[in-house]
Amino acid sequence: MAELINNANEESLRMISAESQSNEYISDEELRPDTLETFIGQPQLKAQMKLFLDAAQLRGVPPDHILLAGPPGLGKTTLSMIVAHELGVPIRVTSGPAIQHAGDLASIVSSLEEGEVLFIDEIHRLPRAAEELLYIAMEDFRVDVMVGKGPGASSIPLTLPRFTVIGATTREGMLPSPLRARFGFTAHLDYYPHSELKKLILRSADVLGIAVEDAAAHELAIRSRGTPRVANRLLRRVRDWGVVHSLGHITPEAVFDCLELYQIDSEGLDRLDIAVLTAMCKQFAGGPVGLNNLAAMVGEEAETVETVSEPYLVREGFLARTPRGRVATSKAWKHLGLVPPNDVTSVF
Ligand SMILES: Nc1ncnc2c1ncn2[C@@H]1O[C@H](COP(=O)(O)OP(=O)(O)OP(=O)(O)O)[C@@H](O)[C@H]1O
């Protein structure tokens, strides 16, 4: 019997160490699902997207432009790749910050093929002149190419093939309304429930060749901040833990120990979240406090606090946004092991 168990242990040990070594170079790209069917969660959005793509295919035309809005890491890039894959067309990828001049965008759109998907990540960060060029390109499938310089310069209209822009943004409110109006379909990605993150973790574990206990996948899911990218990152870290500790498979205990080392707590809050809550409660007596003051206190960019930390803290009820600024809730005080002032308990 003992021999049998030993053999079984050796077998599973080989499975995690050898397979994880052979799969060492599986990148995040390879973890992306490439069809709507294998894209986990977001059922409403998937149903809308399916209808939208099926209709375009039945009509035999490229679909309208698509805007994907939502916090980082929820699958906007993945979805845009899926759209191109489902349509069987190539995809060109760029981003708002990568385009410095309108000319950069002009040369991209003028080299697109009929039906091609142009994915523009962080579209809210396009320079103004590029935005204006994009309105025309999206609506009239035309760019005006400037020839010559100074008073003798003239513009020659260049007709473009029909293509589909997919814009992704974490800050939909920053998009000028004329640009927003050019998108025929806007999809909002939501944080994922634990049950879906668990499925995602088990799927990624399969691709990476890691044996993960069901209960361990659940523990990882509840610490993943509702975000697939975080779930995949935590999975890779517990894989390291498994390899270093020669584990045959990932157990809940391995998840607890590994994530404690990485300072990720039982609610999935990381170092930055805890720094934000601590600053709010200790330095600002619970608030209200403005974003810039808060960011300066934790030594981060205001945008990072606003787009990475804050949405999750608000959603989980640790922080509230009021017209006077951010306020720590009684849940935040309790989570830090502090006693909330009376007025916080009564309001939140
Ligand atoms: N619904 C999903 N099912 C399975 N895997 C997913 C899903 N959504 C995202 N992922 C995985 O999570 C990772 C992050 O997703 P992605 O890069 O698409 O996010 P994003 O919203 O574009 O983020 P950002 O705004 O930061 O660019 C990807 O590696 C992908 O494998």
Torsion of CA 270, 276, 277, 278, to 10 degrees: 100
Write the CATH number for 246: 1.10.8.60
92 is in an annotated binding site: no
In a domain, 214, yes or no: yes
In this structure, is residue 132 part of a structural domain? Answer: yes
Given this model, what pLDDT does residue 157 score?
Answer: 87
Mark whether 221 and 247 lie in a shared domain.
yes
pLDDT in tens, 103-130: 899 999 999 999 999 999 999 999 999 9
Judgement on whether residues 150 and 285 belong to the same structural domain of the protein: no
Atom of ligand 1 nearest to the CA of 200: 4
Has 77 been labeled as part of a binding site?
Answer: yes
305 within a domain of the structure (yes/no): yes
Whether pTM exceeds 0.80: yes
What DSSP line would sit under 26-86, residue for residue?
--HHHHS--STTTS-S-HHHHHHHHHHHHHHHHHTSPPPPEEEE-STTSSHHHHHHHHHHH
Q: What is the pLDDT of residue 30?
A: 80
**pLDDT at res. 348:** 53
CA of 76 to the centre of ligand 1 (A): 6
In this structure, are 221 and 236 located in the same domain? yes
Residue 1 in domain: no
- Nearest C-alpha to atom 16 of ligand 1 is from which residue? 75
Check the annotation: does 182 bind a ligand: yes
Q: Is there a single domain that holds both residue 152 and residue 95?
A: yes
Please indicate if the annotation marks 140 as binding a ligand.
yes
Best of 77, 203, 307 for a ligand 1 pocket test (most atoms within 8 Å of beta carbon):
77
Q: Is the dihedral of CA 61, 38, 316, 267 positive or negative?
A: negative
Per-residue pLDDT of the chain (348 residues; tens, 9 = 90+): 444 334 444 444 334 443 444 445 677 778 899 999 999 999 999 999 999 999 999 999 999 999 999 988 999 999 999 999 999 999 999 999 999 988 899 999 999 999 999 999 999 999 999 999 998 999 999 998 777 777 888 888 899 999 999 999 998 888 999 899 999 999 999 899 999 999 999 999 999 999 999 999 999 999 999 999 999 999 999 999 999 999 989 999 999 999 999 999 999 999 999 999 999 999 999 989 999 999 999 999 998 999 889 988 999 999 999 988 999 999 999 999 998 887 655 455
Catalogue the active-site residues. Answer: 76-77, 121, 170, 229
58 and 154 belong to one structural domain: yes
Task: Using the mean position of ligand 1's atoms as its centre, give its distance from the Cα of residue 75 in Å.
Answer: 3
CB-based pocket (< 6 A), ligand 1 = 28, 31-33, 39-41, 72-78, 121, 168, 170, 200, 228-229, 232
Same domain, 156 and 233: no
Among 233, 261, 289, the domain boundary falls at: 261
Domain boundary among 213, 240, 261: 261
Annotated binding residue 192: yes
Query: Candidates 32, 121, 195: which one to mutate for ligand 1, based on the most atoms within 8 Å of Cβ?
Result: 32
Report the CATH number that the domain containing residue 69 is assigned in CATH. 3.40.50.300
- What's residue 21's pLDDT? 44
Looking at the domain assignment, is residue 50 inside a domain? yes
By alpha-carbon position, which residue is closest to atom 24 of ligand 1? 72
Same domain, 158 and 231: no
Q: Are residues 51 and 112 in the same domain?
A: yes
Domain final residue, candidates 172, 188, 204? 188
- Find the 173 Cα to ligand 1 centroid distance in Å: 21
- In the chain, the number of structural domains is 3
Distance of CA 236 to the CA centre of its chain: 17
Give the pLDDT confidence score for residue 151 in this predicted structure: 80
Query: Is the residue at 276 inside a domain?
Result: yes
Domain that holds residue 231: 194-261
Atom of ligand 1 nearest to the CA of 203: 4
Instruction: Note whether 102 and 183 are same-domain residues.
Output: yes
- Is 96 among the domain residues? yes
Do the domain assignments include residue 19?
no
- Residue 237, exposed/middle/buried by CB under 10 A (0-12, 13-18, 19+)? middle
ipTM of this complex prediction, to 2 decimal places: 0.96
Q: What is the pLDDT of residues 47-77, one digit of tens each?
A: 999 999 999 999 999 999 999 999 889 999 9
Q: From the CA of 119, how far away is ligand 1's center (Å)?
A: 14
The alpha carbon of 230 and the centre of ligand 1 are apart by a number of angstroms equal to 9
Does 184 share its domain with 58? yes
Residue 121 alpha carbon, nearest atom of ligand 1: 27
Do 113 and 213 belong to one domain? Answer: no
Q: Are residues 70 and 154 in the same domain?
A: yes
326 in Cβ contact with 310 (< 8 Å): yes
